[in-house]
Structure formats: C-alpha cells, structure tokens
Amino acid sequence: MRVADRDLVAHRLRQARGAAFPPGEFVGQESFVSASEALLLGRQAGIAPGVSVLDLCCGESGPGLHLTRELGCTYLGVDASPDSVARARRRSADEGLQACFDVGEVPSLPAGSFDVVLLLETMLAFPDKRALLEEVSSALRPGGRFGFTLEAGASLTAAEAELMPGADTVWLTPLHRLRSDLNRAGLRVRWCVETSRAHRLTVDALADAYATAAPELHEAGAGRAVDGLIASHRLWSRWLREGRVRKFDVVAEKVGP
C-alpha cells in the first residue's frame, strides 16, 4: 500500500471512530472506552497531580493523554508499536503535555515504582495473566493501584475462535478467576463496575461507522482490514448482548510491602 493510501486509511478509520462516540467522548481511543469512562476509572484509581502513572499497551495514548490533561499526573506510556508511540509523542508535543513514552513489550515493565498502573482494553491479549499481574504488582508502590478493563468470560471454543478475526489475541477469563490471580499477586479489588451495556452500544456504533467507511477503505486497499473490523465488532456486540462476554472496569490496590 502506498504511503498516501496508508495515511488515508489511518485518517478515515480515525474519522469513523470519532463519529461513533457522542460529542466530547472521543479522545483518539482505539477501544470501546469513552472519555468520561476513562476519567472515572482514573479518578477511582487515585490519579491526581503529582501521581505517577504507567500506562501499559497505550497505543496512540488517547485515553492516557486525556487523563494527563485532565488530572495532571506524571505519565509514562508503553507500547510495542514504534509507530503508535511515535504518534503518541507527536500528539503529546502538539498539545503541550508533559508525557513520556517508551517502546517495549509487555509484560516486561520499565524499571521504577509507580503509584498507578493502567491497562485499558488489553487484558484479553495476555494468555498468562498471572505473570502479567506479578509484573504489575512489582511495579507498584505499596498502596498503589492497578486500573484496568476486563473482558470476562470462559475461554473461546474452537468454533468461536473460527468466527473471531484475530482470535489468537482473545484470551478471556472469568471475573472470579481474575480476582484469584489478583490476590495471588498481592492486589485486592477495591472497585468494580460492569460496563457491558455501554460498551455494546459503542461496539454497535463503531461497526456501523466502519461499514459506512468501508467502500472508501476498500478502494484504498484496506478492504480486508475493515471487513475484519466489522466482523469482529458484530461478534463482540452479539456476545455482549447475550452475556457470553461481560465487560468491567476494575481498580485493585497493592497490599503489604
């Protein structure tokens, strides 16, 4: 794909995402989390001026920069994609925000001790959640908080994996099992709310917006990608509607030394 086409695809996908959210709720996120939901989660995690935040799998850092701007924290975003990190750095500089970014593979975490660790819309990508949570706990100061979103449910069946594009990155876990894994890592849940209905409405709006943009994206050579987005979003919508998957916002606190 030519550079011009790649730029067009990125621009059109961003437009589609922006159109799917209510006014003021799109901050560049590539997920189902609205700006107000991210802000509520951040506040529940105790993010405030002077609080050090490590944002894992931050992508282009739409929610992370939103929290930095609104809550005044000290922010470090980490993502495995150099392109995403480069875009996040440009956006941070354009907005005059004091945010730092590193390219890195998670669950290996940067050296240091943080007040808050965030993981938004990416818990399902880790097959070994115990190892991830041990790393998170090690990165937190005593009393530090881990704020994350969770796709809760039993593991995909072979038939379900056949239907889901990118099923190799969809590792669901029941809420009770994740609570147990958190406890093993010295993390205790102190706040948990279900977001399934709100996320299903967002998923439906995103699927419709991608479908509207599909003809132009097909012409730009991104037909397979947008078709996969539409198919996966329609499937997520069905699973959320049927209760096959439930979504939660969670804050856990590190206990002990």
**Residue-range domain boundaries for the chain:** 1-33+196-242, 34-148+150-194
Examine the pLDDT at 6 and tell me if it is beyond 60.
Answer: yes
% of the chain beyond a pLDDT of 90: 89
pLDDT tens-place string over residues 132-184: 999 999 999 999 999 999 999 999 999 999 999 999 999 999 999 999 999 99
pLDDT tens-place string over residues 202-257: 999 999 999 999 999 998 888 999 999 999 999 999 999 999 999 999 999 999 76
Q: What is the mean pLDDT of residues 19-32?
A: 95
Q: Which residues contact 166 (CB under 8 A, 6 or more apart)?
A: 228, 232
Which strands sit side by side in the sheet containing 246-254, from one edge to the other?
A: 99-103, 74-79, 52-56, 114-119, 140-152, 246-254, 187-194
Q: What is the DSSP letter of 106?
A: S
> 250's torsion region: left (phi>0), alpha (psi -120 to 50) or beta?
beta
Amino acid type, 145: R
**Residue entry with tokens 């998957």:** 245
Selected from 3.40.50.9100, 3.40.50.150, 1.20.1630.10, 3.90.1150.10, the CATH number assigned to the domain covering 34-148+150-194 reads 3.40.50.150
Q: What is the mean pLDDT of residues 71-80?
A: 96
